[in-house]
Amino acid sequence: MTSIKNLSDSQSNSRSSNCSSESATTTAPDISYRLNFERFLEHLVDVTLTFTASNDTPCLWLPAWIPGSYLMREFARHITAVHYQVEDRQLVEDKKTEGKESASDYQAINCLESKHRAQKIDKNTWQLPQVEAGQVLHVHYEVYCYDLSVRTAYVDQQRLYGNFTSLALAVEGQEQSPVKVSLLVPEVFLTAQNLENQHSANEEESKNISNVVLACGLDATHLQTVSQDGDGQHGYRLQADSYYQLIDHPFEISKQQKFDFIIQDEEHQTLSHRFFLSGKHSANMGRLQQDVTQICQTYLNWLGDAPFNDYTFMTYASGQDYGGLEHINSTSLITPRRDLPSSDEPDLPSAAYQRFLGLCSHEYFHAWWVKTVRPDVMLDVDLRKEAFTPLLWVFEGFTSYIDDFMLQASGVIDKASYLTLLAEQINRYYQTQGRAHQSVAESSFDAWIKLYRNDENTGNAGISYYNKGALVALCLDLTLLQKSAGRYRLFDVVKAFYSQAKQNDNQRIGISSADMGTVIGQFMPIADWEAFESRYINGVEELPLEQLLAANGIKIQADNKETADKNVPWGMRCSETPAGLKVNRVQRDSAAAKAGISAHDVIVALDGIKADTKQLSTLSIAPHEVDCYLFRRDELICVKVQPKTEKQKELENNQSDDVNKPCPHKVSLRLARTDKLSESEKEADNLTSTPAWQAWLEVMTRYNG
């Protein structure tokens, strides 16, 4: 026998009905998952799925991708084999007649027929032959979990982390049924978390498991079972309205630090937030709480309310991994520990800490702008195949513009720091030649085959819808300001779509390119929007960054020291290795490309001298032809490189008009100063006592109060 101890009530995090597309139900769950982590040292999770077949020969399937990450991840490759057993109806009835209906008695008897092996009928679908409708099935399989990213699952002696898109097979035709989940964690995992503290704690303290907690956006109940031989197991019980709600809630069980904070909406209703941080770190939790609270409150001040009643940040601190994934009332983040605030973090956050705060801001905004308002093809999406859309620039691009913008709007960073972050976006754009070949709409549509599959030609042939999308959003924001005489912003467009979503029963909306025009047409002349869309979204015309920023009081200045010749000599990017200079990428129409140098070549000598970074830099603008010796695979090749001279570059620049003038390699931004100008100069430049940048950067004056 086992004794059961309820260690805690349900986590105090009530859920809004709009956390799921389905309404809540009081019906007992028809589908249950039991995840056993006993083999955590082998990175394996043993899963038992129990359900009643609604048809003969039912099928089970696993998603091939996870919403928010647009690549076919093929999660089914981590499942070894699927077996199933059918309950013996007669034996079950006999036991019920004998009065053995309690959970412990029922589990102690074997009411199952022999095991059968499921038949795989495609890459992520299994069929259960010899099964009839109405039969109760127990499906068993193991999942290998050793991917540290936020997209899949990771299990070892330090943390148990998972997305149910990787762990839970769906029952075809029953995806809308309520489900319950049991996460079974052996006592040895929980106590192992505290072994590192044994040298500084007494025996009783070292067995304390209170700092090993579950982080998840779903309600959870924690139970402990103790067997007669003293072995224990902890169970965490979750429940979701449907399979689709379940897979929108990742979880982590590990040693974690946590803080709570409260945000208020426009009706002064409080929304509870929780922030979990795991991994080895020495973060200043007080400073982190202060800054994240400030950022989240600013979003509520702008948007009025939220599509959730509470929100959970789940963060893992690692060495150098970085990323995040959005969910309806939570986000899963992974960050280099150096990006977390230090104990003596200055009032103005360091560049590394700003990067982490930008990640938090980015994923938090996605609760409104991806999870609530989303591309139309993502509204009722089939996770077994791609969902192509030209609108990822809208959702990731708008978010990549707004995330850093909100850091300064909230007061967490100053305006100069924000302009530094924006300049980094502009520099990435200027340094990507592919912007002249691929539109941001095409980049969105091709995400499934290009964005997550970078190679040496990526920068030459395409552009990121994150990067260019952010700058298109900037240009659209400034254009809206201009065309509406300062009345409307991109922020009003977002809010209009969110208001539409709230009017729907499921509190969500899917939008198309036509919908974009309809809503934006409410804030600027539709002809201006159509021209903007044609030139900068569906076309590859250079973005008017300099003109729009200058009109809003921002000076853009080229960095004459950090030139292309210095950073990309001969138009190639190299890394220094013991074997020589390894060529990582070669730009089209560059001196290196014209000489026949290719990616993956290893340059060993330049003009008879051993090649290194300094030698290459010296010869990058040499006035003569350079002999370049390199290995391609195991073959030695000699090519002749003709660098462009300073006179040739100057001549090319002089022959180019303003439209075709080469962009600088690196720029910086600063607020235009008017205090040193005379009144006549201000009048000539149409400047007033109110800085031109104020209407752009101080957006919250529109929404506060």
- Residues 521, 629: one domain? no
CATH number at residue 321: 1.10.390.10
Q: Which residue has the tokens 């974690």?
A: 256
- Residues 62, 210: one domain? yes
Tell me, yes or no, whether 31 lies in a domain: yes
CA-CA distance, 538 to 698, in Å (whole number)? 30
What pLDDT is stored for residue 95 in this prediction?
Answer: 57
CATH number at residue 51: 2.60.40.3650
**Beta sheet of 170-171, edge-to-edge order:** 119-122, 125-127, 59-61, 170-171
What pLDDT is stored for residue 293 in this prediction?
Answer: 98
Please, which contacts does 445-454 make with residues 24 or more away whose CB atoms are closer than 8 Å? 445/388, 445/389, 445/390, 447/70, 447/71, 447/392, 448/70, 448/71, 448/72, 448/386, 448/388, 451/70, 451/71, 452/69, 452/70, 452/71, 453/71
CA-CA distance, 33 to 11, in Å (whole number)? 20
* Cα four-point dihedral sign 451, 455, 461, 464: positive
**CA atoms within 13 Å, Cβ hemisphere of 606:** 24
- Residues 373, 442: one domain? yes
**In the listed set 363, 396, 421, which residue is the last one of a domain according to the structure?**
363
* pLDDT < 50: residue spans in the chain: 1-28, 101-109, 199-209, 659, 675, 681
Predicted model pTM: 0.90
Tell me, yes or no, whether 217 lies in a domain: yes
- Residues 63, 204: one domain? yes
Tell me, yes or no, whether 538 lies in a domain: yes
Provide the β-strand partners of residue 49.
33, 139
Residue 508 burial by Cβ neighbours in a 10 Å radius (0-12, 13-18, 19+): buried
CA-CA distance, 100 to 249, in Å (whole number)? 36
Answer for the pair 141, 169: CB distance below 8 angstroms, yes or no. yes
- Residues 639, 594: one domain? yes
The whole domain housing 315 covers 256-363
User: Six-digit token pair at 238?
Assistant: 């979750």
Distances (CA, A) of 697 to 389, 396, 561, 677: 31, 21, 29, 22
Q: Which amino acid is at 48?
A: T
Answer for the pair 429, 407: CB distance below 8 angstroms, yes or no. no
What pLDDT is stored for residue 21 in this prediction?
Answer: 37
**In the listed set 317, 338, 363, which residue is the last one of a domain according to the structure?**
363
- Residues 227, 268: one domain? no
CA-CA distance, 273 to 106, in Å (whole number)? 40
Provide the β-strand partners of residue 275.
259, 313
- Residues 539, 581: one domain? no
Query: How big is the CA angle at 246 (ends 242 and 247), to the nearest 5 degrees?
Result: 120
Answer for the pair 307, 16: CB distance below 8 angstroms, yes or no. yes
Distances (CA, A) of 341 to 73, 164, 245, 413, 678: 33, 31, 33, 14, 43
User: Six-digit token pair at 627?
Assistant: 């002999």
* Residue-wise pLDDT tens digits, 338-354: 999 999 999 999 999 99
CB crowding 178-187: b at 16 or more within 10 Å, else e: bbbbbbbbbb
CA-CA distance, 295 to 262, in Å (whole number)? 12
- For residue 69, the SS3 value is strand
Tell me, yes or no, whether 669 lies in a domain: no
The number of helices, as runs of H, and strands, as runs of E, in the chain is: 24, 31
212: DSSP letter: E
What pLDDT is stored for residue 192 in this prediction?
Answer: 75
395: DSSP letter: I
Tell me, yes or no, whether 682 lies in a domain: no
How many domains in the chain?
4
**CA atoms within 13 Å, Cβ hemisphere of 514:** 1
Tell me, yes or no, whether 419 lies in a domain: yes
Angle, helices 513-520 vs 490-502, to 10°: value is 110
CATH number at residue 584: 2.30.42.10
H or E element in which residue 141 lies = strand 136-144
- Residues 382, 524: one domain? yes
CA-CA distance, 122 to 129, in Å (whole number)? 15
**In the listed set 249, 273, 305, which residue is the last one of a domain according to the structure?**
249
CA-CA distance, 259 to 285, in Å (whole number)? 8
- Residues 152, 226: one domain? yes
Tell me, yes or no, whether 405 lies in a domain: yes
DSSP string covering 452-498: TS--TTHHHH---TTHHHHHHHHHHHHHHHHHTTTS--HHHHHHHHH
- Residues 377, 355: one domain? no
Tell me, yes or no, whether 278 lies in a domain: yes
- Residues 590, 548: one domain? no
DSSP string covering 249-306: --EEEEEEEEEEEEEE-TT--EEEEEEEEESS----HHHHHHHHHHHHHHHHHHHSS-
- Residues 325, 295: one domain? yes
CA-CA distance, 13 to 481, in Å (whole number)? 40
CA-CA distance, 129 to 679, in Å (whole number)? 86
What pLDDT is stored for residue 460 in this prediction?
Answer: 95
* Rg, C-alpha atoms of the chain: 29
